[in-house]
Amino acid sequence: MARRPDEPLRGWMGVAGGWTLVGRGNETVANTQQSADGGLCETVHVALAERSYDIFIGAGQLATTAERMRALGTVSHAVVIADEAVAGYARQVQAACQSTMRADLLTVPSGEESKSIARVDQLWQDLLRLGADRKTCLVAVGGGVVGDLVGFVAATFTRGLRFCQIPTTLLSQVDSSVGGKTGVNLPQAKNMVGAFWQPSVVVIDTDTLHSLPEREYLSGMAEVIKYGMILDAELFERLERSVEALRRRDPSVLRSVIARCCELKAQVVAADERETTGLRAVLNYGHTFGHALEAVSGYGAMLHGEAVSIGMVCASRLAESLGRIDAELTQRQVRLLEAVGLPTRLPDLPHEELWRAMQHDKKVEHGRLRFVLPARMGHVELVPDIDASQVMAVLQASH
Ligand SMILES: NC(=O)c1ccc[n+]([C@@H]2O[C@H](COP(=O)([O-])OP(=O)(O)OC[C@H]3O[C@@H](n4cnc5c(N)ncnc54)[C@H](O)[C@@H]3O)[C@@H](O)[C@H]2O)c1
Ligand SMILES: [Zn+2]
Protein backbone atom coordinates (compact mmCIF):
# COMPACT_ATOMS: atom_id res chain seq x y z
CA MET A 1 0.00 0.00 0.00
CA ALA A 2 2.93 2.33 -0.44
CA ARG A 3 2.26 5.60 -2.20
CA ARG A 4 2.94 5.46 -5.92
CA PRO A 5 5.74 7.86 -6.87
CA ASP A 6 3.55 9.60 -9.46
CA GLU A 7 0.81 10.38 -6.95
CA PRO A 8 0.71 13.99 -5.88
CA LEU A 9 1.19 14.57 -2.17
CA ARG A 10 -1.94 16.56 -1.65
CA GLY A 11 -4.82 16.19 0.74
CA TRP A 12 -8.39 17.37 0.60
CA MET A 13 -9.78 19.88 -1.81
CA GLY A 14 -13.20 21.47 -1.45
CA VAL A 15 -15.22 21.26 -4.67
CA ALA A 16 -18.69 22.58 -5.49
CA GLY A 17 -20.83 21.47 -2.56
CA GLY A 18 -18.48 18.69 -1.56
CA TRP A 19 -15.00 17.45 -0.96
CA THR A 20 -12.66 15.34 -2.94
CA LEU A 21 -9.45 13.54 -2.07
CA VAL A 22 -6.73 14.54 -4.47
CA GLY A 23 -4.01 11.91 -4.65
CA ARG A 24 -3.20 10.55 -1.25
CA GLY A 25 -3.00 12.61 1.93
CA ASN A 26 0.65 12.98 2.85
CA GLU A 27 0.21 12.07 6.47
CA THR A 28 -1.62 8.78 6.58
CA VAL A 29 0.03 6.26 4.33
CA ALA A 30 -0.25 2.60 5.26
CA ASN A 31 2.85 0.47 5.03
CA THR A 32 3.29 -3.26 5.31
CA GLN A 33 5.82 -4.82 7.67
CA GLN A 34 6.81 -8.28 8.76
CA SER A 35 5.93 -8.66 12.44
CA ALA A 36 8.05 -10.63 14.93
CA ASP A 37 6.11 -13.88 14.41
CA GLY A 38 6.54 -13.70 10.63
CA GLY A 39 2.97 -12.52 9.93
CA LEU A 40 2.28 -9.44 7.87
CA CYS A 41 1.10 -6.33 9.62
CA GLU A 42 0.00 -3.05 8.06
CA THR A 43 0.37 0.20 9.93
CA VAL A 44 -1.76 3.29 9.42
CA HIS A 45 -0.67 6.48 11.11
CA VAL A 46 -3.43 8.86 12.18
CA ALA A 47 -1.95 12.36 12.08
CA LEU A 48 -3.53 14.53 14.78
CA ALA A 49 -0.60 16.53 16.17
CA GLU A 50 0.01 15.49 19.81
CA ARG A 51 -3.01 13.17 19.61
CA SER A 52 -1.51 11.15 16.73
CA TYR A 53 -1.53 7.36 16.96
CA ASP A 54 -0.93 4.18 14.97
CA ILE A 55 -3.31 1.45 13.87
CA PHE A 56 -1.78 -2.03 13.45
CA ILE A 57 -3.67 -4.48 11.23
CA GLY A 58 -3.02 -8.16 10.63
CA ALA A 59 -3.58 -11.74 11.72
CA GLY A 60 -2.26 -12.73 15.17
CA GLN A 61 -2.05 -9.15 16.39
CA LEU A 62 -3.73 -9.74 19.80
CA ALA A 63 -0.47 -11.13 21.15
CA THR A 64 1.37 -7.91 20.26
CA THR A 65 -0.84 -5.66 22.41
CA ALA A 66 1.59 -5.58 25.34
CA GLU A 67 4.51 -4.43 23.20
CA ARG A 68 2.30 -1.78 21.52
CA MET A 69 1.37 -0.44 24.96
CA ARG A 70 4.93 -0.54 26.26
CA ALA A 71 5.89 1.56 23.25
CA LEU A 72 3.62 4.31 24.60
CA GLY A 73 5.96 4.63 27.60
CA THR A 74 4.98 4.92 31.29
CA VAL A 75 2.17 2.36 31.10
CA SER A 76 2.46 0.06 34.10
CA HIS A 77 -1.13 -1.11 34.46
CA ALA A 78 -3.68 -2.34 31.93
CA VAL A 79 -7.41 -2.66 32.55
CA VAL A 80 -8.92 -4.75 29.77
CA ILE A 81 -12.65 -4.07 29.40
CA ALA A 82 -14.41 -6.50 27.09
CA ASP A 83 -17.75 -7.44 25.63
CA GLU A 84 -18.52 -10.71 27.44
CA ALA A 85 -19.04 -12.42 24.03
CA VAL A 86 -15.33 -11.95 23.29
CA ALA A 87 -13.98 -12.62 26.79
CA GLY A 88 -11.73 -15.32 25.28
CA TYR A 89 -9.87 -12.77 23.15
CA ALA A 90 -9.73 -10.42 26.14
CA ARG A 91 -8.08 -13.12 28.27
CA GLN A 92 -5.42 -13.54 25.55
CA VAL A 93 -4.76 -9.80 25.70
CA GLN A 94 -4.66 -9.85 29.49
CA ALA A 95 -2.19 -12.76 29.47
CA ALA A 96 0.03 -10.98 26.94
CA CYS A 97 0.08 -7.86 29.13
CA GLN A 98 0.69 -9.74 32.37
CA SER A 99 4.19 -10.66 31.25
CA THR A 100 5.26 -7.07 31.77
CA MET A 101 2.63 -5.19 33.76
CA ARG A 102 -0.31 -5.56 36.11
CA ALA A 103 -3.36 -6.42 34.02
CA ASP A 104 -6.98 -6.64 35.17
CA LEU A 105 -10.00 -7.81 33.20
CA LEU A 106 -13.58 -6.53 33.39
CA THR A 107 -16.48 -7.59 31.17
CA VAL A 108 -19.73 -5.91 30.20
CA PRO A 109 -22.86 -7.53 28.75
CA SER A 110 -23.13 -7.60 24.93
CA GLY A 111 -25.47 -5.17 23.25
CA GLU A 112 -26.34 -1.52 22.85
CA GLU A 113 -27.78 -1.38 26.42
CA SER A 114 -24.21 -1.36 27.73
CA LYS A 115 -23.73 2.11 26.22
CA SER A 116 -25.39 3.71 29.25
CA ILE A 117 -24.36 6.13 31.96
CA ALA A 118 -25.19 3.42 34.56
CA ARG A 119 -22.54 1.17 32.99
CA VAL A 120 -20.08 4.07 32.87
CA ASP A 121 -20.71 4.72 36.57
CA GLN A 122 -20.05 1.08 37.41
CA LEU A 123 -16.79 1.09 35.42
CA TRP A 124 -15.67 4.32 37.17
CA GLN A 125 -16.20 2.53 40.52
CA ASP A 126 -14.34 -0.55 39.27
CA LEU A 127 -11.38 1.58 38.16
CA LEU A 128 -11.24 3.27 41.55
CA ARG A 129 -11.24 -0.13 43.25
CA LEU A 130 -8.45 -1.36 40.93
CA GLY A 131 -6.33 1.68 41.76
CA ALA A 132 -6.30 3.06 38.22
CA ASP A 133 -4.14 6.15 37.79
CA ARG A 134 -2.33 8.07 35.06
CA LYS A 135 -0.08 5.06 34.37
CA THR A 136 -3.12 2.91 33.63
CA CYS A 137 -4.11 2.22 30.04
CA LEU A 138 -7.66 0.97 29.37
CA VAL A 139 -8.00 -1.65 26.64
CA ALA A 140 -11.36 -1.96 24.86
CA VAL A 141 -11.96 -5.44 23.40
CA GLY A 142 -15.20 -5.78 21.42
CA GLY A 143 -17.27 -4.04 18.79
CA GLY A 144 -18.37 -0.42 18.54
CA VAL A 145 -20.44 -0.66 21.72
CA VAL A 146 -17.46 -1.44 23.91
CA GLY A 147 -15.18 0.93 21.98
CA ASP A 148 -17.56 3.88 22.47
CA LEU A 149 -18.20 2.98 26.12
CA VAL A 150 -14.58 2.40 27.15
CA GLY A 151 -13.43 5.44 25.18
CA PHE A 152 -15.87 7.59 27.16
CA VAL A 153 -14.76 6.07 30.47
CA ALA A 154 -11.14 6.77 29.44
CA ALA A 155 -12.01 10.37 28.52
CA THR A 156 -13.61 11.04 31.90
CA PHE A 157 -11.89 9.00 34.63
CA THR A 158 -9.39 11.28 36.39
CA ARG A 159 -10.03 13.73 33.50
CA GLY A 160 -8.47 11.41 30.97
CA LEU A 161 -6.72 8.05 30.78
CA ARG A 162 -5.00 6.58 27.77
CA PHE A 163 -6.83 3.80 26.00
CA CYS A 164 -6.17 1.14 23.41
CA GLN A 165 -8.83 -0.04 20.98
CA ILE A 166 -8.99 -3.70 19.99
CA PRO A 167 -12.04 -3.78 17.72
CA THR A 168 -13.45 -7.26 17.04
CA THR A 169 -16.28 -6.56 14.56
CA LEU A 170 -15.65 -5.55 10.95
CA LEU A 171 -17.75 -2.43 11.51
CA SER A 172 -15.66 -1.30 14.46
CA GLN A 173 -12.41 -2.16 12.66
CA VAL A 174 -13.18 0.09 9.68
CA ASP A 175 -15.27 2.73 11.37
CA SER A 176 -15.85 3.28 15.07
CA SER A 177 -12.31 2.52 16.32
CA VAL A 178 -10.87 5.31 14.16
CA GLY A 179 -11.78 8.92 14.79
CA GLY A 180 -12.08 9.43 18.53
CA LYS A 181 -15.84 9.71 18.89
CA THR A 182 -16.78 8.13 22.21
CA GLY A 183 -19.99 8.16 24.19
CA VAL A 184 -23.15 6.57 25.49
CA ASN A 185 -26.87 6.68 24.73
CA LEU A 186 -29.70 8.35 26.61
CA PRO A 187 -32.89 6.26 26.79
CA GLN A 188 -34.48 8.58 24.18
CA ALA A 189 -31.47 9.35 22.01
CA LYS A 190 -28.49 7.42 20.69
CA ASN A 191 -24.93 8.78 21.16
CA MET A 192 -26.26 11.88 22.93
CA VAL A 193 -23.56 12.16 25.62
CA GLY A 194 -19.90 11.80 24.80
CA ALA A 195 -16.50 13.25 24.10
CA PHE A 196 -13.90 13.38 21.37
CA TRP A 197 -11.10 11.30 22.87
CA GLN A 198 -8.50 9.66 20.66
CA PRO A 199 -7.08 6.22 21.47
CA SER A 200 -3.31 5.93 22.00
CA VAL A 201 -3.10 2.87 19.77
CA VAL A 202 -5.46 0.60 17.80
CA VAL A 203 -4.71 -3.11 17.32
CA ILE A 204 -6.83 -4.89 14.69
CA ASP A 205 -6.50 -8.67 14.66
CA THR A 206 -8.26 -10.06 11.59
CA ASP A 207 -8.39 -13.51 13.26
CA THR A 208 -11.08 -12.19 15.62
CA LEU A 209 -13.45 -11.91 12.64
CA HIS A 210 -13.65 -15.70 12.31
CA SER A 211 -16.12 -15.94 15.20
CA LEU A 212 -18.26 -13.00 14.06
CA PRO A 213 -21.82 -14.00 13.01
CA GLU A 214 -22.40 -13.66 9.25
CA ARG A 215 -24.93 -10.83 9.50
CA GLU A 216 -22.57 -8.77 11.68
CA TYR A 217 -19.72 -9.40 9.25
CA LEU A 218 -21.81 -8.30 6.27
CA SER A 219 -23.04 -5.27 8.17
CA GLY A 220 -19.42 -4.11 8.40
CA MET A 221 -18.93 -4.91 4.72
CA ALA A 222 -21.55 -2.28 3.83
CA GLU A 223 -19.30 0.37 5.42
CA VAL A 224 -16.31 -1.02 3.50
CA ILE A 225 -18.19 -0.70 0.19
CA LYS A 226 -19.24 2.81 1.26
CA TYR A 227 -15.57 3.89 1.47
CA GLY A 228 -15.07 2.82 -2.14
CA MET A 229 -18.11 4.77 -3.29
CA ILE A 230 -17.31 7.97 -1.42
CA LEU A 231 -13.54 8.18 -1.70
CA ASP A 232 -11.76 5.49 -3.66
CA ALA A 233 -12.82 4.07 -7.03
CA GLU A 234 -9.78 1.78 -6.98
CA LEU A 235 -10.90 0.24 -3.67
CA PHE A 236 -14.38 -0.33 -5.12
CA GLU A 237 -12.89 -2.14 -8.14
CA ARG A 238 -10.71 -4.23 -5.83
CA LEU A 239 -13.81 -5.24 -3.85
CA GLU A 240 -15.60 -6.19 -7.08
CA ARG A 241 -12.68 -8.47 -7.96
CA SER A 242 -12.47 -9.95 -4.43
CA VAL A 243 -16.07 -10.96 -3.68
CA GLU A 244 -15.26 -14.63 -3.22
CA ALA A 245 -12.25 -13.92 -0.95
CA LEU A 246 -14.29 -11.46 1.09
CA ARG A 247 -17.09 -13.96 1.55
CA ARG A 248 -14.67 -16.54 2.96
CA ARG A 249 -12.96 -13.86 5.10
CA ASP A 250 -9.56 -14.32 3.49
CA PRO A 251 -7.08 -12.83 5.99
CA SER A 252 -4.69 -11.19 3.54
CA VAL A 253 -7.48 -9.55 1.50
CA LEU A 254 -9.12 -8.40 4.74
CA ARG A 255 -5.83 -7.01 6.04
CA SER A 256 -5.28 -4.78 3.05
CA VAL A 257 -8.94 -3.79 2.65
CA ILE A 258 -9.30 -2.89 6.35
CA ALA A 259 -6.01 -0.96 6.22
CA ARG A 260 -7.24 1.06 3.24
CA CYS A 261 -10.55 1.85 4.98
CA CYS A 262 -8.71 2.94 8.15
CA GLU A 263 -6.41 5.07 6.03
CA LEU A 264 -9.35 6.78 4.32
CA LYS A 265 -11.17 7.38 7.59
CA ALA A 266 -7.93 8.62 9.17
CA GLN A 267 -7.52 11.15 6.37
CA VAL A 268 -11.05 12.45 6.81
CA VAL A 269 -10.63 12.63 10.58
CA ALA A 270 -7.23 14.33 10.32
CA ALA A 271 -8.82 17.03 8.15
CA ASP A 272 -11.98 17.42 10.27
CA GLU A 273 -11.31 16.02 13.73
CA ARG A 274 -14.31 17.63 15.41
CA GLU A 275 -16.81 17.74 12.57
CA THR A 276 -16.41 21.45 11.94
CA THR A 277 -15.52 21.69 8.24
CA GLY A 278 -18.28 19.47 6.89
CA LEU A 279 -15.81 16.99 5.42
CA ARG A 280 -16.68 14.30 7.96
CA ALA A 281 -20.22 14.36 6.56
CA VAL A 282 -19.07 12.39 3.48
CA LEU A 283 -18.93 9.36 5.80
CA ASN A 284 -22.72 9.61 6.07
CA TYR A 285 -23.38 8.40 2.53
CA GLY A 286 -26.44 6.11 2.67
CA HIS A 287 -27.00 7.02 6.31
CA THR A 288 -29.94 9.45 6.04
CA PHE A 289 -32.08 6.74 4.42
CA GLY A 290 -30.31 4.11 6.56
CA HIS A 291 -30.99 5.75 9.93
CA ALA A 292 -34.64 6.21 8.96
CA LEU A 293 -34.90 2.52 8.04
CA GLU A 294 -33.36 1.50 11.37
CA ALA A 295 -35.72 3.75 13.31
CA VAL A 296 -38.95 2.86 11.47
CA SER A 297 -38.28 -0.89 11.38
CA GLY A 298 -37.64 -0.76 15.16
CA TYR A 299 -34.09 -0.64 16.49
CA GLY A 300 -32.47 -4.04 16.35
CA ALA A 301 -34.69 -5.48 13.60
CA MET A 302 -32.22 -4.37 10.95
CA LEU A 303 -28.48 -4.19 11.49
CA HIS A 304 -26.88 -0.82 10.85
CA GLY A 305 -24.94 -1.99 7.79
CA GLU A 306 -28.02 -3.68 6.29
CA ALA A 307 -29.87 -0.36 6.54
CA VAL A 308 -26.86 1.52 5.11
CA SER A 309 -26.69 -0.93 2.20
CA ILE A 310 -30.28 -0.16 1.22
CA GLY A 311 -29.70 3.50 2.08
CA MET A 312 -26.80 3.78 -0.37
CA VAL A 313 -28.93 2.37 -3.16
CA CYS A 314 -31.70 4.88 -2.32
CA ALA A 315 -29.22 7.78 -2.22
CA SER A 316 -27.79 6.69 -5.54
CA ARG A 317 -31.28 6.56 -7.07
CA LEU A 318 -31.90 10.06 -5.72
CA ALA A 319 -28.71 11.26 -7.45
CA GLU A 320 -29.96 9.57 -10.62
CA SER A 321 -33.35 11.26 -10.42
CA LEU A 322 -31.60 14.62 -10.09
CA GLY A 323 -29.62 13.89 -13.23
CA ARG A 324 -26.32 13.79 -11.32
CA ILE A 325 -25.31 10.22 -12.27
CA ASP A 326 -26.22 7.46 -14.74
CA ALA A 327 -28.29 4.41 -13.76
CA GLU A 328 -25.19 2.27 -14.32
CA LEU A 329 -23.48 3.66 -11.18
CA THR A 330 -26.44 2.55 -9.05
CA GLN A 331 -26.45 -0.83 -10.76
CA ARG A 332 -22.77 -1.33 -10.00
CA GLN A 333 -23.42 -0.78 -6.31
CA VAL A 334 -26.44 -3.09 -6.34
CA ARG A 335 -24.38 -5.82 -8.02
CA LEU A 336 -21.53 -5.62 -5.49
CA LEU A 337 -23.80 -5.31 -2.43
CA GLU A 338 -25.88 -8.30 -3.57
CA ALA A 339 -22.81 -10.34 -4.51
CA VAL A 340 -21.41 -10.09 -0.98
CA GLY A 341 -24.86 -10.92 0.46
CA LEU A 342 -26.27 -7.54 1.52
CA PRO A 343 -29.90 -6.42 1.04
CA THR A 344 -30.61 -3.67 -1.51
CA ARG A 345 -34.42 -3.51 -1.60
CA LEU A 346 -36.53 -1.36 0.66
CA PRO A 347 -38.65 -3.47 3.04
CA ASP A 348 -42.36 -2.77 3.27
CA LEU A 349 -42.47 0.27 5.57
CA PRO A 350 -44.74 3.36 5.44
CA HIS A 351 -43.00 6.00 3.31
CA GLU A 352 -44.42 8.91 5.32
CA GLU A 353 -42.86 7.49 8.49
CA LEU A 354 -39.51 7.11 6.74
CA TRP A 355 -39.68 10.73 5.59
CA ARG A 356 -40.56 11.90 9.13
CA ALA A 357 -37.66 9.89 10.55
CA MET A 358 -35.28 11.47 8.00
CA GLN A 359 -36.32 14.91 9.19
CA HIS A 360 -35.28 13.96 12.73
CA ASP A 361 -31.83 13.10 11.41
CA LYS A 362 -29.12 15.70 11.95
CA LYS A 363 -28.92 16.92 8.38
CA VAL A 364 -32.12 19.00 8.31
CA GLU A 365 -31.89 22.58 7.15
CA HIS A 366 -35.12 24.64 7.23
CA GLY A 367 -37.41 21.66 6.59
CA ARG A 368 -35.48 20.53 3.53
CA LEU A 369 -32.90 17.80 3.68
CA ARG A 370 -29.24 17.66 2.78
CA PHE A 371 -28.01 14.40 1.29
CA VAL A 372 -24.58 13.02 0.56
CA LEU A 373 -24.94 11.92 -3.06
CA PRO A 374 -22.54 10.26 -5.48
CA ALA A 375 -21.18 12.35 -8.36
CA ARG A 376 -19.09 9.52 -9.81
CA MET A 377 -17.37 6.42 -8.46
CA GLY A 378 -15.12 7.47 -5.55
CA HIS A 379 -16.59 10.92 -5.16
CA VAL A 380 -19.62 12.29 -3.29
CA GLU A 381 -21.10 15.73 -2.78
CA LEU A 382 -23.28 17.30 -0.13
CA VAL A 383 -26.52 18.30 -1.87
CA PRO A 384 -28.88 20.67 -0.01
CA ASP A 385 -32.55 21.46 -0.53
CA ILE A 386 -34.03 18.05 -1.24
CA ASP A 387 -37.79 17.98 -0.64
CA ALA A 388 -40.34 15.32 0.25
CA SER A 389 -41.59 14.66 -3.29
CA GLN A 390 -38.09 13.85 -4.55
CA VAL A 391 -37.50 11.43 -1.67
CA MET A 392 -40.94 9.82 -2.01
CA ALA A 393 -40.32 9.11 -5.69
CA VAL A 394 -37.09 7.29 -4.79
CA LEU A 395 -38.82 5.26 -2.07
CA GLN A 396 -41.51 4.20 -4.59
CA ALA A 397 -38.82 2.98 -6.96
CA SER A 398 -36.76 1.07 -4.38
CA HIS A 399 -38.85 -1.98 -3.44
N1 LIG B 1 -17.48 6.05 17.48
C2 LIG B 1 -17.81 6.01 16.21
O3 LIG B 1 -17.27 6.75 15.38
C4 LIG B 1 -18.84 5.03 15.76
C5 LIG B 1 -19.02 4.78 14.40
C6 LIG B 1 -19.95 3.82 14.02
C7 LIG B 1 -20.67 3.12 14.98
N8 LIG B 1 -20.48 3.40 16.30
C9 LIG B 1 -21.20 2.67 17.33
O10 LIG B 1 -20.81 1.30 17.27
C11 LIG B 1 -21.85 0.48 17.75
C12 LIG B 1 -22.06 -0.65 16.78
O13 LIG B 1 -20.86 -1.38 16.67
P14 LIG B 1 -20.84 -2.92 16.28
O15 LIG B 1 -21.60 -3.11 15.04
O16 LIG B 1 -19.44 -3.35 16.36
O17 LIG B 1 -21.77 -3.55 17.41
P18 LIG B 1 -21.49 -4.37 18.76
O19 LIG B 1 -20.37 -3.82 19.52
O20 LIG B 1 -22.81 -4.44 19.44
O21 LIG B 1 -21.10 -5.82 18.22
C22 LIG B 1 -22.05 -6.55 17.46
C23 LIG B 1 -22.29 -7.95 18.04
O24 LIG B 1 -21.17 -8.78 17.76
C25 LIG B 1 -20.69 -9.41 18.96
N26 LIG B 1 -19.24 -9.57 18.73
C27 LIG B 1 -18.31 -8.60 18.70
N28 LIG B 1 -17.13 -9.09 18.27
C29 LIG B 1 -17.33 -10.41 18.04
C30 LIG B 1 -16.49 -11.45 17.57
N31 LIG B 1 -15.24 -11.21 17.17
N32 LIG B 1 -17.00 -12.69 17.49
C33 LIG B 1 -18.31 -12.92 17.83
N34 LIG B 1 -19.16 -11.97 18.24
C35 LIG B 1 -18.67 -10.73 18.35
C36 LIG B 1 -21.12 -8.50 20.07
O37 LIG B 1 -21.26 -9.20 21.29
C38 LIG B 1 -22.47 -7.99 19.55
O39 LIG B 1 -23.48 -8.93 19.85
C40 LIG B 1 -23.07 1.38 17.91
O41 LIG B 1 -23.27 1.66 19.27
C42 LIG B 1 -22.69 2.64 17.17
O43 LIG B 1 -23.29 3.80 17.70
C44 LIG B 1 -19.57 4.32 16.70
ZN1 LIG C 1 -22.40 3.73 9.59
Continuous H helices in the chain: 65-70, 87-98, 117-129, 144-156, 170-171, 214-231, 233-241, 243-247, 251-271, 287-296, 304-321, 327-340, 351-360, 388-396
pTM score above 0.85: yes
Same domain, residue pair 225 and 347: no
Q: Best substitution site from 92, 172, 211 to test ligand 1's pocket, by max atoms within 8 Å of Cβ? A: 172
pLDDT at 118: 98
Same domain, residue pair 161 and 306: no
229 inside domain? yes
For residue 37, the CA-to-ligand 2 centroid distance in Å is 34
pLDDT at 18: 45
301 inside domain? yes
Which of 271, 287, 304 is the last residue in one of the domains? Answer: 271
Nearest ligand for residue 172 CA: 1
pLDDT at 38: 56
CATH number at residue 318: 1.20.1090.10
CATH number at residue 181: 3.40.50.1970
Same domain, residue pair 265 and 293: no
What residues act catalytically?
Answer: 159, 181, 223, 265, 275, 280, 284, 287, 291, 304
Same domain, residue pair 126 and 67: yes
Nearest ligand for residue 230 CA: 2
211 lines ligand 1 (CB under 6 A): yes
Question: For residue 345, what are the domain limits?
Answer: 279-396
Q: How do the pLDDT tens digits run along the chain, 399 residues long?
A: 444 433 333 344 444 444 544 434 334 446 777 665 557 999 999 999 999 999 999 999 999 999 999 999 999 999 999 999 999 999 999 999 999 999 999 999 999 999 999 999 999 999 999 999 999 999 999 999 999 999 999 999 999 999 999 999 999 999 999 999 999 999 988 999 999 999 999 999 999 999 999 999 999 999 999 999 999 999 999 999 999 999 999 999 999 999 999 999 999 999 998 888 888 999 999 999 999 999 999 978 999 999 999 999 999 999 999 999 999 999 999 999 999 999 999 999 999 999 999 988 655 656 689 999 999 999 999 999 998 999 999 999 998
For residue 171, the CA-to-ligand 1 centroid distance in Å is 7
Tens-place pLDDT, residues 34-93: 665 557 999 999 999 999 999 999 999 999 999 999 999 999 999 999 999 999 999 999
Tens-place pLDDT, residues 317-360: 999 999 999 999 999 999 999 999 999 999 999 999 999 999 88
pLDDT at 188: 87
pLDDT at 42: 96
Same domain, residue pair 93 and 183: yes
In whole angstroms, what is the distance from residue 313 CA to residue 329 CA?
10
Cβ partners under 8 Å of residue 200, min gap 6: 53, 69, 72, 137, 162, 163, 164
1 inside domain? no
Which of 237, 271, 305 is the last residue in one of the domains? Answer: 271
Count of structural domains within the chain: 2
Contact 98, 157 (CB under 8 A): no
179 lines ligand 1 (CB under 6 A): yes
Q: Are strands 77-83 and 102-108 parallel, antiparallel or unpaired?
A: parallel
For residue 174, the CA-to-ligand 2 centroid distance in Å is 10
255 inside domain? yes
Same domain, residue pair 122 and 221: yes
90 lines ligand 1 (CB under 6 A): no
216 lines ligand 1 (CB under 6 A): yes
83 lines ligand 1 (CB under 6 A): yes
Same domain, residue pair 42 and 104: yes
pLDDT at 368: 80
> What secondary structure does DSSP assign to 152-176, as a single string?
HHHHHGGG--EEEEEE-SHHIIIII
pLDDT at 367: 67
